[in-house]
Structure 1
Amino acid sequence: MNTPPNSQGILIGDKVYSEVFLAIDSSIIPEERLSTTPSMLDGLDHETETDLRILGCELIQSAGILLRLPQVAMATGQVLFQRFFYSKSFIKHSFEIVAMACVNLASKIEESPRRVRDVINVFHHLKQGKSKKSIPLVLDQNYINTKNQVIKAERRVLKELGFCVHVKHPHKIIVMYLQVLECEKNQMLVQTAWVAHGGKCHRKHPNSSGTRPRNPSHLIGWPFRDCQPILNYMNDTLRTNVFVRFEPETIACACIYLAARVLQIPLPSKPHWYLVFGASKEDIKEICISTMKLYSREKPNSEQLEKQVEKRKVALEEARLKAKGQNPSGTPALAAIGGFSPASKPSSPRDVKMEEKSPNSKLVKESENRQLFPKSPLNG
């Protein structure tokens, strides 16, 4: 929030709010929020959270390809997904529903809107995995509930991010930096591609048969086709939290540095070329390490992750009910085992009070007798 000194605004509490300042810098998350996330506060360990982030970003990337979205839309969806779960917990929000919402929102932001029905169908297809038979999604009540959840999740993402959903991508910056370095025509850099597949890094020539590239050239567009090796690192970096920690210019320098280092392409070092673009050696090293660690991780197992999240969710619910003094079933918890009511006294009172007679009872009885026996001349 930016408040000019002499401006009229709205007084909320003891602060005056006159305008909202949105900038790219405001999307960089500080270190204190990175170290303690909402998911960790709910008891989720760091490795499980990292796997959930990787799995969610992979779903967004795969769904974007099937929906024929441009690469910038897929990148925007993954960045929004990463930002959201630094404000909310994986325990309280389904990562799959949020991933659908991020795809739907990113398609609108990048002016390539897709229907919610198509997004749900694609995620349903991806969830079936590599099964030979693809069962179509039934348009029943469960589908309607999922659609409503996706729409609500999209609104929640907008609310938590403060409607600051603009993402500055390093893709165009990479092209500009390569032109400055005079490397945009380097045949080795253009033709050699590094494709991450199955958690491992494989080197493939574009003309050779093998693994299909993660980002086909027809989905990227010119001039990104000439930078495919660096873009592979760029798109893999989206699965980490690098895009919420560093500026896009620094990420572009790190991707160029990593690709040139792996392909053994010399770049100016006296002084270092990245200093011209405002990047530091420490930041580039951190980005490269985060990216290379990604290739050494095992592929996340969605079923195991969902079980761990559900287990932690049940534990939190039991703790919440226990704090309220209730059982998991919702019934009130007893203070002591076997205690149903306060214990009765060991003995009865010694003195038993007898019913006291009223002093007027004798007079009432006499009047009743007079009515039964009326006066006669014999008895006077």
Structure 2
Amino acid sequence: MPCWYYDKNDLVKTPSARHGIRDEVEARYRREGARLIMDTGTKLGLRFDTCATGVVYFHRFYMFHSFQDFHRYVTAACCLFLAGKVEETPKKCKDIIKMARSKLPEPHCQIFCDESREEVMTLERILLQTIKFDLQVEHPYAYLLKFSKLIKGDKKKIEQMVQMAWTFINDSLCTTLSLQWEPDVIAVALMYLASRLTKFDIQDWTGKVFGSKSKWWDHLVEDVNIEFLEDICHQVLDLYSSSSQSKEDSPPPPPPPPQGPTPSKRSRPVS
């Protein structure tokens, strides 16, 4: 299977960059595409994991293609269409296009026209070839639920931390974090951020060795230091601090965390 993790140098040498699209513009296009997938999927009643899968497809696609060649909103509709089938929550292409169009203001909604269904169906074949038919995607949500069960302490504080971390994971889809780090690392980093902001100091957890000076995240993931965690946190926080960021640039609020299956462990990416 292909490796979908990139270092930061690769992320500034994308096809869009080679076409002269500035970094901040590409980042905005990625946010807007991710937001449209999440917003459209939510309005259509799709599960959070279906929407997240569509966003990951979207980010991977633009590591091989330029925003100049493929419009972000058409690609977003295509990614959500494919994700719905992969996650066994299919929606008709025409319904996705209709909902996506309704979520876009003038004149952006005009990108969808009478021929859009054929355009999306054609693009689906290009998308499948681009992502090399590697359709299964893991997300940080399941890891968050798994890891939170290992944390000991005040249940209300743990619940508050998990809810905040869930929202951070949801918003992280607007960044390229899914192209940089495995989902378990993202989950731990945003648990760390949520614990700091909720002032919940994690001191005890299942499996802690008495007298050990290791941190709680060392028990959950390997070879990840505090600098990596804080870098992930800052990339998410930058979404909120950017002066050019509108309130609509974040995906819609997430539903309450459901009970998900225990994910399998994957190999560590090269940082």
Structure 2: how far apart are the matches of 1:142 and 1:233? 34
Note the alpha carbon deviations across 1:258-293, whole angstroms, 9 max, x for none: 000000001139321111222322221110010000
Note the alpha carbon deviations across 1:174-230, whole angstroms, 9 max, x for none: 1111111125x62134257xxxxxxxxxxxxxxxxxxxxxxxxxxxxxxxxxx3221
Aligned residue number for residue 146 of structure 2: 176
Note the alpha carbon deviations across 1:318-365, whole angstroms, 9 max, x for none: xxxxxxxxxxxxxxxxxxxxxxxxxxxxxxxxxxxxxxxxxxxxxxxx
Aligned pair partner of 1:93 in 61, 65, 70: 70
Superposition deviation, residue 86 in structure 1: 1.0
Structure 2: how far apart are the matches of 1:259 and 1:100? 31
State, as a whole percentage, how many aligned pairs show the same letter: 27
Structure 2: how far apart are the matches of 1:30 and 1:162? 20
Aligned pair partner of 1:291 in 236, 240, 243: 236
Q: 1:35 to 1:122 in 2, by over 3 A?
A: same
Aligned pair partner of 1:49 in 26, 45, 56: 26
Equivalent position SS for 2:193: helix
Aligned residue number for residue 159 of structure 2: 190
Q: 1:166 to 1:30 in 2, by over 3 A?
A: farther
Equivalent position SS for 1:267: coil
Superposition deviation, residue 42 in structure 1: 0.4
Number of equivalences:
234
Superposition deviation, residue 32 in structure 1: 4.1
Give the structure, 1 or 2, with the largest relative contact order (CA under 8 Å, sep 6 or more). 2
Higher alpha-carbon deviation: 42-51 or 267-276: 267-276
Superposition deviation, residue 252 in structure 1: 0.8
Superposition deviation, residue 294 in structure 1: 0.6
Superposition deviation, residue 31 in structure 1: 4.1
Say if 2:12 is the partner of 1:35. Answer: yes
Structure 1: how far apart are the matches of 2:247 and 2:172? 20
Aligned residue number for residue 72 of structure 1: 49
Q: Please tell me the root mean square deviation across aligned C-alpha atoms, in Å.
A: 2.3
Structure 2: how far apart are the matches of 1:115 and 1:103? 11
Structure 2: how far apart are the matches of 1:125 and 1:68? 15
Q: 1:30 to 1:191 in 2, by over 3 A?
A: closer
Structure 1: how far apart are the matches of 2:135 and 2:166? 22
Equivalent position SS for 2:20: coil
Segments of 5+ residues of structure 1 without an aligned counterpart are 1-21, 130-134, 193-226, 303-380
Structure 1: how far apart are the matches of 2:225 and 2:86? 31
Structure 2: how far apart are the matches of 1:300 and 1:38? 26
Structure 2: how far apart are the matches of 1:280 and 1:50? 26
Q: Is the 8 A contact 1:54 1:300 kept in 2?
A: no
Amino acid at match of 2:217: Y
Note the alpha carbon deviations across 1:30-71, whole angstroms, 9 max, x for none: 444212111010011001110110111011110011110000
Q: 1:283 to 1:301 in 2, by over 3 A?
A: closer
Aligned pair partner of 1:247 in 167, 182, 186: 182
TM-score, with structure 1 as normaliser: 0.58
TM-score, with structure 2 as normaliser: 0.80
- Higher percent of residues as helix: 2
Equivalent position SS for 2:181: coil
Aligned residue number for residue 117 of structure 1: 94
Q: Is the 8 A contact 2:55 2:173 kept in 1?
A: yes
Aligned residue number for residue 166 of structure 1: 136
Alignment of 1:1-380 (within 5 A): 22=1, 26-128=3-105, 142-143=113-114, 145-182=115-152, 186-191=155-160, 227-268=162-203, 270-277=213-220, 278=222, 279-297=224-242, 298-299=244-245
Q: Is the 8 A contact 2:12 2:23 kept in 1?
A: no
Structure 1: how far apart are the matches of 2:194 and 2:102? 34
Aligned residue number for residue 326 of structure 1: none
Q: Is the 8 A contact 2:189 2:229 kept in 1?
A: yes
Structure 2: how far apart are the matches of 1:142 and 1:111? 27
Structure 2: how far apart are the matches of 1:164 and 1:27? 10
